[in-house]
Chain A
Amino acid sequence: MRKLALMVAVIFGVALLGSVAFAGGVIKIGALYNLTGGMSSIDAPALNGAKLAAKQVNAKGGVLGKKVEIVAIDTKTNQKEAAVAARKLISEGVVACIGYGDTTYVLAAAPLFQKAKIPFVTSGATHPGLPKMVGDYMFLTPFGDNVQAYAMAEFLIKDLGLKKAWVFTNKAMDFTLALSKFFKERFKKLGGKIVLEDFYVTSDKDFSAQIARLKNLKEKPDVLFVSATPDNAGVIVKQIREAGIWTVIASGDGFDTPVIIEVPGPKLADKIYYTTHQSWDNPAPEVQNFIKAYEKTYGRKPENAFAALGYDAAMLVIRAIERAGSTDPKKIKEALEHEKGYRGVTGAISFTSKNHVPVKDVAIMEVVKGKVKFVKMVKPSM
């Protein structure tokens, strides 16, 4: 017992040393990410991207003559931690906050920033309704799910001439439901036909019943739109191909994961198209410079597009501070609303006071025999 007390005392002591006030003369930007737990594969690269942005800006002398500091808190894939950490950042006096690759956690944290009138720029949450749900201090770095779904629908019909779709939707996730909804809307508007919509849930492992229904369709579809996240994406592709169906498969950024090749294997991972935020094969200098800088700092290529989104989110905030000429959160928010065409790693980003969800270029990717190829950047009509 005494040893235990001693140990607790030591931990307290070290903690006090650790919390000794931060040095003055810095601009603090908060960063809320799930660095441990289920979301860490998405959120940890995003924080690395954001830190890289701060490092580059500081190397050039910072902003407004001050250094930028990213104050990051790990919220452990837990909404309670998100709600507490948001308050902690606000009490530490951050001028703006970035964070999260998932709407669930944004909704636990962002309303607190809204209440404190501090801008919150999510790096990866794609729900287009977020600013409506949270308020006018909420901004998105990525495109909304409507944009990527529209882009895929237009690409399939206009570029590939595919007009009959089978839609397969995970009905247990908001992201997948929204993606299918927007896809169907645009696909039908452009003269496409949905021959059947079928459903599954995240925990499903066997899709043979739905695939059998697909096989027995009188009117054969020429494209299979699979609305899925990495949990299911690979398995669904594998089971469809194993059933001898070689129709084109299309999806959103939930397919931007090595899993869709690893699980089915390079032979079966073929004739797949998906949309995502950026391709590392894009020759644009913003993209290639980012990859080089990331590799130099972290010793590896960016893990996924969320690294680039984290970088862009931090850059949007830093640029806004510079334009505002002030660290007043209210002025930063106003400056964010005047962002015009920042050439980010994930495409050009603009905000207005009415629109806090950027309409960006969408990267179309193709998987050919286990190899991912960049097709092109497209901008859907809104």
Chain B
Amino acid sequence: MKKVVIIAVIALLAFTYIAENYLSDYHLSVLEFLGIYAILTVSLDITNGYTGLFSLGHPAFMAIGAYTSAILTFPAMRKSIMIPALPEFLAHLELPFWLALIIGGILASLSAIVVGYPVLRLKGHYLSVATIGFLIIVQVLITNLEDLTRGPLGLNGIPPYTNLWWVVAWLLITVYVVWRVVNSDFGRVLKAIREDEIAAEVMGVPLARYKLFAFSLGAFFAGVAGGLWAHLVTAITPTTFSLPLAFNLVVMLVVGGRGSITGAITGAVLIGVLSEILRPIEMKTQAYGLTQLITAVLLIIILIRKPDGIFGYRELRLKISERRG
């Protein structure tokens, strides 16, 4: 098992090296977005797949991470022109990229705790409603906190730090952390909550605490992914991260398979690659909207034929790794 993982990581790093050096800017950006989407789906899987909580809050956490890391890394010179009303301690701050990403992730995670603390005590679908509400609150705040965010115009000219190395590194960290969490005692408790909340509670599981941890862990990686996104697109507005994005992520997760890391990554890659492959057809035939149509049909077929998704609740297992070592 260990060998396979090490070989896979080395292969991925070698691929990244080749891609960074030989691929066109366009193909690189496609790969970078695939990676970011994979980070998002894998982290969304913690709540939506492993714990059985249906969250639509990822775009809100991404927005928090994106704005945080953009403001923290912006060159102080340009900050004074673009966002002159910034508080003193932020105006001269110019943090390294990795630190800004982590701070963005932590802020996203803290906000998840604030929202989750009251909401996760309730049973049923309150979380999905509350996360939609939270997303709207975040958007309104970003729109109105003009001193920090430049309001509806958004921030642009964000330093383009994100490259494939950053994305792959964070993808590996995300997968590693999620893998370790869901395959620990802790992760088994999460699955127990998913399978039967009442039974888990009777067994003495403090439901709210476990749910809150799962929710805020997912939010951390969403915040980081938001930061990577901001430094890739280099422009963000209050509406960049909104509800359609949340649905997109859910679709990727459903297609790939919930409760499975391979499934989450497969879904993100499949849908991402599909839209790039269909792009030339769309351009040639001028049948714009084709991508969305085919994605929708594919989704329906998968929901009928394989309701659990391609890798529903199980991982891709190579023959060698049949017995976990």
Interface on A for B, CB 8 Å cutoff? Answer: 1, 3-4, 7, 11-12, 14-15, 18-19, 35-36, 71-74, 76, 78-80, 82-85, 87-88, 90-91, 103-104, 107-108, 111, 127, 133, 171-174, 177, 201
Contacts and interface: CB of A to CB of B under 8 A. Distances in A.
A15 B289 CA distance: 15
A170 to B, nearest CB: 9
A35 B277 contact: no
A171 B232 CA distance: 28
A138 B17 CA distance: 33
B282 interface: yes
Given A36-B292, A104-B154, A87 B235 contact: no
A38 B279 CA distance: 19
The 7 closest A-B pairs by CB, nearest first: A19-B280, A87-B26, A35-B288, A107-B235, A91-B26, A74-B288, A174-B153
> Interface SS of chain B: helix, strand, loop or mixed?
helix
Main SS at interface, chain A: helix
Contacts of B26: 84, 87-88, 90-91
Contact of A74 (B33, B282, B305): B282
B131 interface: no
Contacts of B239: 104
A3 B281 CA distance: 22
Interface of B: 24-30, 33, 140, 143-144, 151-154, 156-157, 229, 232-237, 239-240, 244, 274, 276-286, 288-289, 291-292, 294, 298, 301-302, 305-306
B279 A73 contact: yes
B29 A83 contact: yes
A167 to B, nearest CB: 18
B306 A14 contact: no
Contact of B278 (A11, A80, A87): A11
B277 A15 contact: yes
Could you say which of B24, B235, B289 has the most chain A C-beta atoms within 10 Å of its C-beta? Answer: B235
A88 B306 CA distance: 34
Nearest to B278: A15
Given A4-B301, A84-B26, A12 B277 contact: yes
Nearest to B241: A79
A91 B24 contact: yes
Contacts of B280: 15, 18-19
A98 B24 CA distance: 22
A11 B30 contact: no
Contacts of A133: 156-157
Contacts of B28: 87
Given A1-B305, A4-B305, A104-B237, A173 B152 contact: yes
Given A72-B286, A103-B153, A201-B140, 20 more contacts: A7-B301, A11-B274, A15-B281, A18-B285, A35-B288, A79-B233, A79-B235, A83-B233, A84-B30, A84-B276, A87-B26, A90-B26, A91-B26, A104-B154, A111-B235, A133-B156, A171-B144, A172-B143, A172-B144, A201-B143
B288 A11 contact: no
Given A80-B33, A172-B143, A4 B302 contact: yes
A73 B289 CA distance: 11
Nearest to A106: B235
